[in-house]
Amino acid sequence: MRTRTELEIEARRIEQQARETRSELGAKPLFTFPESSVELNAGSETGSPLVHRMLRHITSIQGHAGPEFRLIEEEFVSDSKGRLVRHYDPIEVSTDGGALGIISAGYQRMDEDRLWERVEPVVQRIEMNGFTESEHSEAVAEVERCTSEMDLPASARLRVKSDTIDLLEGRLELGDFVSRTVARQECFAIAQRATLSRQITECLET
């Protein structure tokens, strides 16, 4: 779990590095995220979990107003025996004029990986077997435990509980639940507000 201060410090370091290596923009990563490896059932035809290994890094290109930062993602999918099943070439998944927005996007995707891995088995169990009232309550509590270590303010936890009920009762897709929940963490919410404020300022100045 990261704090707003940690994200801001890393963003300033990345922006400084981009300024110092202006002639080499895009030539090498400015920042590499820790490798993310999770077991997921989604996309598996055998019923056994597939291991998704995600490599992410930040590069930059020279835009009209200065460096533009890009989040690059590459994915390797292996079966339970470690054999490569699929490989997705590196792609640009996000672009931002500020490093704070792009480093936040990278860490958000890492948190989404981990939360999906923890919640997916609960959802699959409910979908396959249905649930009694007590099992429903237990499943809600289990999903809440999956989010217990996340940096969620009290108001966001109430929304997460409501979303959890919708998820388990089939009114909300797992992907939407995961992305909403992760984005509600305080460090990312603040980063999003900072990015929006910067974009509004830039719009007014042009």
The domain ranges of the chain are 4-205
Cα–Cα distance between 148 and 137 in angstroms, integer? 16
Cα–Cα distance between 203 and 188 in angstroms, integer? 22
Tokens found for residue 141 = 């509590």
Contact partners, residue 143, CB within 8 Å, separation at least 6? 119, 122, 164, 167, 168
Spatial contact of 116 and 38, defined as CB atoms under 8 Å apart: yes
Q: What is the percent of the chain where pLDDT is above 90?
A: 61
Check residue 157 and give its pLDDT.
93
Check residue 42 and give its pLDDT.
67
Mean pLDDT over the full length of the chain? 86
Q: What is the percent of the chain where pLDDT is above 70?
A: 85
Predicted confidence (pLDDT) at residue 89 exceeds the cutoff of 50: yes
Give the global pTM.
Answer: 0.84
Cα–Cα distance between 153 and 99 in angstroms, integer? 25
pLDDT, mean of residues 60-74: 86
Check residue 26 and give its pLDDT.
61
Side-chain-facing half-sphere of 168: CA atoms under 13 Å? 25
pLDDT, mean of residues 114-122: 94
Check residue 169 and give its pLDDT.
92
Spatial contact of 157 and 141, defined as CB atoms under 8 Å apart: no
Cα–Cα distance between 181 and 112 in angstroms, integer? 9
10 Å Cβ neighbour count for 191? 26
pLDDT, mean of residues 96-108: 93
Cα–Cα distance between 113 and 152 in angstroms, integer? 17
pLDDT, mean of residues 117-134: 88
Cα–Cα distance between 17 and 31 in angstroms, integer? 10
Predicted confidence (pLDDT) at residue 87 exceeds the cutoff of 60: yes
Cα–Cα distance between 124 and 127 in angstroms, integer? 5
Which band of pLDDT confidence, cut at 50, 70 and 90, is reported for residue 63? confident
Check residue 204 and give its pLDDT.
42
Check residue 179 and give its pLDDT.
95
Which band of pLDDT confidence, cut at 50, 70 and 90, is reported for residue 75? very high
Place of tokens 């809440």: 144
